[in-house]
Structure 1
Amino acid sequence: MKLKVIGAISAVIILIAACQNEESIEFRRYYSSGALVYQSHCQNCHGENGEGLSALIPPLTDSNYLIKNKTGLACSIKSGLKGPITIKGKTFDDAMPANDLSPIEIAQVLTYIGNSFGNKLNTIDEQEVQTDLTKCK
């Protein structure tokens, strides 16, 4: 009897795994890798939950800001960010340092940030980041 139950559960798991589409698998791959990039390169300043640091470091919890500035996010990560930005009515004017991340790492961390902390931006893939990086000023 136990073998039949285990077999049935295994069959359901295999069926669920087989029903996942390529897009869903890619999203999870970018997201989970992005979590690791975030932990090692961003979390120290932006916080474990993207809350930022008081008036010094902006939070990453504002989907509106992320959506409005989506094409510039890769440049901000790669080249750093200088000058004031306003998020949720608060102005932040401290510089963010440049990061020596590869385009795939930038895509991964943007997918993670864009789908964590209350944000919903879907997958930001390496090709999109490559395109955005060519437009950096």
Structure 2
Amino acid sequence: MKVKIIGCICFVVIAFAISCQSDERIEFNRYYSNGSTVYQAKCQNCHGIKGDGLQSFIPPLTDSLYLKNNKKTLACLLKNGLKGKVIINNKAFDGEMLPSGLTPLEIAQVLTYVTNSFGNKAATSTVETVNADLAKCN
């Protein structure tokens, strides 16, 4: 009997806590969670579990300054890939990242995950923002 009562109380507390979250927080959590799944499937093999990259071949995703300064081009990099030299955290990386094949929603999700993981803190990357950034790709 005590177990049922404790279980019911826990359920009510959890339901109450979830209902107290703002719409923005719920959206962030959904994008972040789905972005983690996309990252594991499409990005982790090269960039690593901790986003630390691979020596001088694959850049890390831990440089908040690079991500912040290149926020408007990140969606294009994911969609179209990257060839040539890139400087991240004062270190040169000269390799190739192939186009990801991700949808705009998946790009928004993985960007939300990456820009809020590995020591990074940013806002939610929405599909609307990603679509606007993709429209400006070269």
For structure 1, the residue ranges without an aligned partner over 5 or more in a row are: none
| Count of residue pairs the alignment pairs up | 137
Q: CA RMSD in A?
A: 1.3
* Matched letter for residue 59 of structure 2: P
Partners of 2:99 and 2:44 in 1: CA distance: 15
Unpaired stretches in structure 2, ≥5 consecutive residues? none
Instruction: Using the TM superposition, name which of 55-64 and 92-101 deviates more.
Output: 92-101
Whole-angstrom distance in 1 between the partners of 2:111 and 2:47:
13
SS in structure 1 of the partner of residue 136 of structure 2: coil
The within-5 A match list for 1:41-120 is 41-120=42-121
Q: What SS class does the counterpart of residue 127 from structure 1 fall into?
A: helix
TM score, norm. by length of structure 1: 0.94
How far apart, in 2, do the equivalents of 1:5 and 1:77 lie? 47
Counting aligned pairs with the same residue, the percent is: 53
Structure 1 match to 2:12: 11
- Which whole-Å CA distance do the structure 2 matches of 1:127 and 1:22 have between them? 16
Higher strand proportion (structure 1 or 2):
2
Q: Which segments of structure 1 move beyond 6 Å, counting only runs of 4 or more?
A: none
TM-score (norm 2): 0.93
- Any idea what the Cα deviations from partners look like across 1:40-75, whole Å, max 9, x if unmatched? 111111011101000110000011000000000000
